[in-house]
Amino acid sequence: MSSSLQLRARLIAPGLRSAPRACANPRAIVLHHSRTLFNSHRPGAASSLKRRSLPANFFVRAISGKPLRQSNSYILNFCFRAAAWLGASLTVIGVSVVAFFIYDASTYKEEATHSDINLSELALQPRRGGPKNLPIAEVFIGDDDTEETRAMKEKPRLVVLGGGWGGVALLKDLNPDEYHVTVISPTNYFLFTPMLPSATVGTLELRSLVEPIRRILHRCRGHFIRAQAEDVEFSHKLVEVSQQDVNGQEVRFYVPYDKLVIAVGSTTNPHGVKGLENAFFLKNVDDARKIRNRVIQNFELACLPTTSDEERKRLLSFVVSGGGPTGVEFAAELYDLLNEDLSRHFPRLLRNEISVHIIQSRSHILNTYDEAVSKYAEERFNRDQVDVLTNSRVKEVKEDKIIFSQKMEDGSVVTKELPTGFCLWSTGVSPTAFSITLAKKLGDAQTNRHALETDTHLRLNGAPLGDVYAIGDCSTVQNNVANHIITFLRTLAWKQGKDPETIQLHFSDWRYVAQDVRKRFPQASEHLKRLDKLFEEFDKDKSGTLDFGELRELLGQIDKKLTSLPATAQRAHQQGQYLAHKFNKMARLSQGLLANDVKDGDLDAAAYKAFEYHHLGSLAYIGNSAVFDLGEGWNISGGLWAVYTWRSVYFAQSVSFRTRMLMAMDWAKRGLFGRDLISF
Amino acid sequence: MSSSLQLRARLIAPGLRSAPRACANPRAIVLHHSRTLFNSHRPGAASSLKRRSLPANFFVRAISGKPLRQSNSYILNFCFRAAAWLGASLTVIGVSVVAFFIYDASTYKEEATHSDINLSELALQPRRGGPKNLPIAEVFIGDDDTEETRAMKEKPRLVVLGGGWGGVALLKDLNPDEYHVTVISPTNYFLFTPMLPSATVGTLELRSLVEPIRRILHRCRGHFIRAQAEDVEFSHKLVEVSQQDVNGQEVRFYVPYDKLVIAVGSTTNPHGVKGLENAFFLKNVDDARKIRNRVIQNFELACLPTTSDEERKRLLSFVVSGGGPTGVEFAAELYDLLNEDLSRHFPRLLRNEISVHIIQSRSHILNTYDEAVSKYAEERFNRDQVDVLTNSRVKEVKEDKIIFSQKMEDGSVVTKELPTGFCLWSTGVSPTAFSITLAKKLGDAQTNRHALETDTHLRLNGAPLGDVYAIGDCSTVQNNVANHIITFLRTLAWKQGKDPETIQLHFSDWRYVAQDVRKRFPQASEHLKRLDKLFEEFDKDKSGTLDFGELRELLGQIDKKLTSLPATAQRAHQQGQYLAHKFNKMARLSQGLLANDVKDGDLDAAAYKAFEYHHLGSLAYIGNSAVFDLGEGWNISGGLWAVYTWRSVYFAQSVSFRTRMLMAMDWAKRGLFGRDLISF
């Protein structure tokens, strides 16, 4: 700004300063007096110009950087500030809206993006091969789309089976330039499973819980194939996948890999119960929608004039089989729906005749949580008139009732019936057909009936070392500390020309062994804290040394203490992240390893530490309150503030900015409009 | 605030005023000089106190109503203002968030709302009766829920069949205290049909387009029964409805009425084409979801390595049969999806191989719109590489192709084939099974094969006068002006003892007749504007009077000009509103009519004017641009600004604040994150 312009503004400005009205007002006198201490002439000068009309550039000045308008009126000043605040806020909101529209307008593409593209002949006509002579997808149709994707063609091929917690955690942490990534999954989206119970009653929308895999893959320029993994040819490094073509016929083909990550998850455990075709599950989006539709269907049927009272009570009796987090959260969400939304628009009779039951085989619900937490949840449900039936086992699910046996306090077992219009089955996990196929194929290397066994580097036991990994619900980490270390010692002994059976370990040797155990089995570290105590305890002959038998017993004891990792999103997530970091490290090292001609052997162990699970705590929503089990006896439970905390945790864990926004919108929707009781 | 406190603030305040730095700066000298004109001593006084530290009550002062801080520094003032604006905005946003959380927290109900309720025995055990001896739902289980609902029990029973545009418009304008309202519909939500094409590709979510009927009914304390209307017993005033019970078996019962409004809508018109089981429709929520899933399914199949190039092109060939607004908007939305979102995450090959075709039987798409509008839409599609095939009729839809005949420019008809992976069938409307049943039952009173005929008071022809009304797509208003007026004249003539065949109408008589026509057939008014011209024209013997034959011919001519009303949301909406206003008026008048012992006869005509349709214009979205046909040659078409206008119109028309919010959120979502290409 030029100084002459500034000068002009100054010349006019003082006229706007209002001065004390009249000296007859005693307060004004005081004010006047006080000001003269520092600034004696100003008020007089201003006062003489007081009655001047508004200058022409008043409005220009109002948004300039010139001195602010002066007034001694408390009210005027307050109004000025309030107006400024209101105006400012409205302006910001207005500007945001306009900015959004401008941005929005820029998202509409006008011109079609047709252009010639390169295509490998092999992408259109894949060659056949492998043990079953199926087409082998060596080149994808998107491989030559851009410079960037072309550059990936020569990289090692990383194939991920499954787009759940494990697979997505891996994709999110993987360096984008190191691997040619392909994800194979029957669903083209990642599902934020912990919030699925919320979606069954419409607290959240299903679309807010999912993120397209392709969007996640975008970062590492990966490819997605919507298909089902059927088998793996380990020696040919081929995954056999199947997909229905447009006529519903099954098509099978191979996808080659250099590294394969199995993260296919699990299915529901039927526990050998009859009639599960009458029950609902809660594993995927479709399940959630089916549940929602059935719940509302039951409400609508209960409203019909032809429905008898008995039938109405049955329709409105909701049974949850399984007192784990999923079952408990579903019961809580259902109760919320009934309590907050149903009574608003449906006849009151329905509200009176509704009942919610949880059937739990253990003595408490949430039995993997701290006992205080379980008790809090039970008390809460008790207050909310949710019926918790502990020590009960479902024997059969019929169309209109559930038959279960309950162990009474006196130890007797009583068989009971519960008429029901809806039964949710949420009792643990089972391996998928694909996992079972693989376990069979690998024979003796796989001994666990419930999951695929891996070593602590998450490599699938029995598969060629460093080719195949398994993470998440479909896998379990084998912690046979005793066997491994004994083998290790034996090799050591033979090398030194000693007989392992006669070896004697001094405390310093034992310390060395313990260090090795810690490195190989990080999960065991916790049980190796007091080495001296352990040494003393198992040195039964007080010889000052451990012999082979004593060592085996010591390590066997540790084995027993190691529990298998929980089948949770948290574990899968950590395993996915672990693999991503390891793969990144291995890619960085690969140049060096190639130069040193190191191609085989235990590259994983050479490059990266073994996997260690860190339990960060469990949480559950239990109906206008939430519980947190933070491990080691720490736990929190509380009302609405805990609910908001519970939401914050999941909000933060959510997979993308997009899902976070949608979840926030959904919660706002619930607050503003309630849940929709509509089915489609 | 006490004056002493105010004094203290003054004493400290000047220390905060910054003064010109040094007079060595020539600009500062000018400023100094200019200021001294009015206020010579201030700068010096302030300057002497410049280095004082911040007073203790600085922050209190910052939010008080005291005089604003004074400074001569342009930058400081600007910063002060900017900070105030930013701070104010953040505060407003923060306060809004906190306020929302406080409100949200208030929406969680803590206590269960169990309480004893009154129930009529008849509600639990309806008596049987009627021609088929079915249960009669005379009392509902919600009838005694509150004082308010109890008060409604004695009111006339208004039963509305259908919860579409007509039914909902009626419900929204009906006075809440006059009728005992029951809505019977197979879906428990109202669907905002004009936006359905947007939902097929995920521009909008389906849930944003629906509003639960119970929420709409809440205002008039009505009841909702999710069931299908099957038949009406006019003489018993009973509607027969059916519903599947929980075991899937059909249950039928009667719902009694005093006034019945039939607003059941229409189904898709098959036009006798073979193979429509291979086509998709777009009438309801389920259709939209099926389309969305199929489109994405085709994309996924096109990505598979085993899909041949020919098959890929077929999968990506989308055909729309029908060039009306629904078909055109679907094609436009599909094109947007392909252009804006598909290419972002799918291989580029797909984008290159996609084709969209519109098959239209007429010579233009949007043929009910102004020709300029049609042409604009065609040009737009042409630019967007959407293939418009006019003068073409689909003969058969096969699984993998469409067979259609096209009339060439030389008049010859050629049969063509189009390989396709998806065909949408959107070619006009047909009556529902219920409408056909009613039309048959009413025999000669119903002669229209396409819809239920009503008089201009929307009363169903053939049903007892004033009992049954029909509105929306399922109905048509019979405008047989000639017949009605001739009958009216005949009655008049006989009363006066004259032979109607010999009657002679002078111009004044004709004016009287025309007035009567206008009142009974408001739709004919437009054609009765120049009475003198009409009189002259049809007075063929120039006798100065119209004889019976001449009058018949005149009125017949007007009949021909009256077209049937379009099957649009707009018409249904206006008819619903009309009925609501009429029913309100009739309820107000009923006391008077009862007092005067007027119970029968043409109460509708006595109470309210006949229905007149006002066409407000048509609009359509055609892919990043929109067209508006405002009638009488007025039309607008344009790019993005028209799209925003188009959205504004539907935003305003939307059924509730809730759906408006959701729609706005969805549009924002599309802008921010694009559409999800996921299917479930």
CA-wise closest residue to A254 among A265, A263, A242, A262: A242
Residue A266: strand pairing partners: A431
Asked whether residue A49 carries a pLDDT value surpassing 60, the answer given is: no
Identify the residue with better confidence: A265 or A627. A265
Residue B218 CB-density burial (10 A; 0-12 exposed, 13-18 middle, 19+ buried): middle
What whole-number distance in Å separates Cα of residue B519 and Cα of residue B306? Answer: 69
Asked whether residue A41 carries a pLDDT value surpassing 50, the answer given is: no
Identify the residue with better confidence: A53 or A218. A218
Residue in B124, B212, B253 closest to A309 by CB: B124
Q: B453 phi and psi, to 5 degrees?
A: -85, 135
Mean pLDDT comparison of A178-182, B628-632, B633-637, highest-scoring range: A178-182
What is the pLDDT at residue B388? 93
State which residue of chain B sits closest to A45, comparing Cα positions.
Answer: B38
Query: B330: which residues sit within 8 A by CB, 6+ positions away?
Result: B197, B200, B282, B291, B320, B424, B426
Q: What is the DSSP string of A440-509?
A: HHHGGG---SSSEEE-TT-BBTTSPTTTEEE-GGGEEE---HHHHHHHHHHHHHHHTT--GGG-EE-HHH
Please write the tens of the pLDDT for every residue from A494-534: 877 777 777 788 888 888 888 888 888 888 888 887 788 88
Q: Are A636 and A630 in contact (CB under 8 A)?
A: yes
**Rounded (10°) CA dihedral B247, B253, B259, B260:** 50
Q: A599 phi and psi, to 5 degrees?
A: -115, -30
What whole-number distance in Å separates Cα of residue A532 and Cα of residue B353? Answer: 72
Its pTM stands at 0.81
What is the pLDDT at residue A110? 63
Q: How far is B227 from chain A (nearest CA, A)?
A: 9
What is the pLDDT at residue B82? 76
Q: What is the mean pLDDT of residues B598-610?
A: 79
Identify the DSSP state of B369. Answer: S
Residue in B3, B303, B661 closest to A225 by CB: B303
What whole-number distance in Å separates Cα of residue B343 and Cα of residue B388? Answer: 23
CA A27 to chain centroid, in Å, comes to 66
* B114 to B34, B139, B143, B551: CA distances (angstroms): 79, 22, 17, 70
Give every strand in the sheet of B422-425, ordered side by side.
B386-389, B355-359, B317-321, B422-425
B387: helix, coil or strand?
Answer: strand
Identify the DSSP state of B52. Answer: P
Identify the residue with better confidence: A95 or A56. A95
Asked whether residue A651 carries a pLDDT value surpassing 80, the answer given is: yes
Asked whether residue A238 carries a pLDDT value surpassing 80, the answer given is: yes
What rounded mean pLDDT belongs to chain B?
A: 82
**Assigned token pair, A495:** 């090398």
Please write the tens of the pLDDT for every residue from B292-312: 999 999 999 999 988 888 999
Give every strand in the sheet of B413-419, ordered side by side.
B392-397, B401-407, B413-419
What whole-number distance in Å separates Cα of residue B348 and Cα of residue A118? Answer: 10
> Could you give the residue ranges of the DSSP H alpha helices within B460-538?
481-495, 507-520, 531-538
CA B17 to chain centroid, in Å, comes to 61
Q: Scanning the structure block, which residue is given the tokens 């191979």?
A: A254
Asked whether residue B47 carries a pLDDT value surpassing 70, the answer given is: no
Q: Cβ of A674 and B107 within 8 Å? A: yes
Weakest mean pLDDT among A551-555, B57-61, B206-210, B621-625: B57-61
Question: What type of residue sits at position A40?
Answer: S
Q: Cβ of B668 and A307 within 8 Å? A: no
**Assigned token pair, B45:** 């006084």
Residue A97 CB-density burial (10 A; 0-12 exposed, 13-18 middle, 19+ buried): exposed
Say how many CB pairs under 8 Å bridge A and B: 360
What whole-number distance in Å separates Cα of residue B261 and Cα of residue A247? Answer: 45
Q: Cβ of A108 and B14 within 8 Å? A: no
What is the pLDDT at residue A396? 94
Proportion of chain A above pLDDT 90, given as a percent: 32
Residue in A10, A11, A214 closest to B345 by CB: A214
Q: B675 phi and psi, to 5 degrees?
A: -90, 150
Asked whether residue B5 carries a pLDDT value surpassing 50, the answer given is: no
Q: Cβ of A348 and B10 within 8 Å? A: no
What whole-number distance in Å separates Cα of residue A6 and Cα of residue B272? Answer: 82
Taking residue A639's Cβ as centre, other Cβ atoms within 10 Å add up to 14
Q: What is the 3-state secondary structure (H, E, C) of B55-89?
A: CCCHHHHHCCCCCCCCCCCHHHHHHHHHHHHHHHH
What whole-number distance in Å separates Cα of residue A85 and Cα of residue A375? Answer: 50
Q: How many degrees, rounded to 5, is the angle at CA B519 between CA B515 and CA B522?
A: 110
Please write the tens of the pLDDT for every residue from A341-395: 887 888 888 888 889 999 999 888 888 888 888 888 898 888 888 899 999 999 9
Most A CBs within 10 Å: which of B278, B306, B340, B385, as the mutation test of the A interface? B306
Mean pLDDT comparison of A118-127, A450-459, B37-46, B56-65, highest-scoring range: A450-459
Residue B140 CB-density burial (10 A; 0-12 exposed, 13-18 middle, 19+ buried): buried
What is the pLDDT at residue B591? 74
**Rounded (10°) CA dihedral A431, A436, A438, A442:** 110
Q: What is the 3-state secondary structure (H, E, C) of A546-595?
A: EEHHHHHHHHHHHHHHCCCCCCCHHHHHHHHHHHHHHHHHHHHHHHHHHH
What whole-number distance in Å separates Cα of residue B670 and Cα of residue B673? Answer: 5
Q: Cβ of A315 and B340 within 8 Å? A: no
Contacts of A105 in chain B (CB under 8 A): 640
Asked whether residue B667 carries a pLDDT value surpassing 70, the answer given is: yes
What whole-number distance in Å separates Cα of residue A226 and Cα of residue B297? Answer: 9
Q: How far is A70 from chain B (nearest CA, A)?
A: 6
Please write the tens of the pLDDT for every residue from B219-258: 888 999 999 999 999 999 999 999 987 777 899 999 999 9
C-alpha distance across the termini of chain A, in Å: 64
Contacts of A89 in chain B (CB under 8 A): 88-89, 91-93
Strands A157-161 and A180-185: parallel
Residue in A1, A67, A112 closest to B70 by CB: A67
What is the pLDDT at residue A409? 86
CA-wise closest residue to A448 among A463, A459, A461: A461
Q: Cβ of A305 and B123 within 8 Å? A: yes
At A43, the pLDDT band (50, 70, 90 cuts) reads very low
What is the pLDDT at residue B111? 60
Asked whether residue A228 carries a pLDDT value surpassing 90, the answer given is: yes
Q: How far is B599 from chain A (nearest CA, A)?
A: 31
Q: B17 phi and psi, to 5 degrees?
A: -70, 125
Q: What is the DSSP string of B24-46?
A: TSHHHHHHHHHHHHHHTTHHHHH
What whole-number distance in Å separates Cα of residue A142 and Cα of residue A357? Answer: 51
Q: Cβ of B10 and A103 within 8 Å? A: no
What rounded mean pLDDT belongs to chain A?
A: 82
CA A669 to chain centroid, in Å, comes to 22
What is the pLDDT at residue A20? 40
Number of H helices, E strands in chain A: 25, 28
Q: Are A164 and A285 in contact (CB under 8 A)?
A: no
Task: State the ipTM, two decimals.
Answer: 0.79
Asked whether residue A119 carries a pLDDT value surpassing 90, the answer given is: no
Asked whether residue B336 carries a pLDDT value surpassing 80, the answer given is: yes
Q: What is the mean pLDDT of residues B72-77?
A: 78
What is the pLDDT at residue A244? 86
Q: How many degrees, rounded to 5, is the angle at CA A308 between CA A305 and CA A311?
A: 120
Domains delineated in chain A = 3-83 (no CATH), 120-186+227-269+428-479+573-614 (3.50.50.60), 278-427+616-673 (3.50.50.100), 480-562 (1.10.238)
What whole-number distance in Å separates Cα of residue A159 and Cα of residue A178? Answer: 13
Please write the tens of the pLDDT for every residue from A320-342: 999 888 999 999 999 888 888 88
Please write the tens of the pLDDT for every residue from A72-93: 777 877 777 777 777 777 888 8
Q: Cβ of A668 and B340 within 8 Å? A: no
Q: Are B455 and B150 in contact (CB under 8 A)?
A: no
Q: What is the mean pLDDT of residues A593-605?
A: 71
What is the pLDDT at residue A27? 42
What is the pLDDT at residue A260? 96
At A589, the pLDDT band (50, 70, 90 cuts) reads confident
**Assigned token pair, B679:** 């299917």
Strands B317-321 and B266-268: unpaired
Question: What type of residue sits at position B347?
Answer: P
At B69, the pLDDT band (50, 70, 90 cuts) reads low
> Could you give the residue ranges of the DSSP H alpha helices within A596-639?
603-607
Identify the DSSP state of B126. Answer: P
Asked whether residue B62 carries a pLDDT value surpassing 70, the answer given is: no
**Assigned token pair, A665:** 């919108």
Contacts of B109 in chain A (CB under 8 A): 339-340, 624
Q: Are B291 and B424 in contact (CB under 8 A)?
A: yes
Please write the tens of the pLDDT for every residue from A480-494: 888 877 887 788 788
At B382, the pLDDT band (50, 70, 90 cuts) reads confident
Please write the tens of the pLDDT for every residue from B408-451: 888 899 999 999 999 999 988 899 999 999 999 998 889 888 89
Asked whether residue B459 carries a pLDDT value surpassing 80, the answer given is: yes
Please write the tens of the pLDDT for every residue from B116-131: 777 778 888 889 999 9
Please write the tens of the pLDDT for every residue from A280-310: 999 889 899 999 989 989 999 999 988 888 9
Identify the residue with better confidence: A35 or B597. B597
Q: Cβ of B104 and A11 within 8 Å? A: no
Please write the tens of the pLDDT for every residue from A141-194: 888 888 888 888 889 999 999 999 999 999 999 999 899 999 999 999 999 998
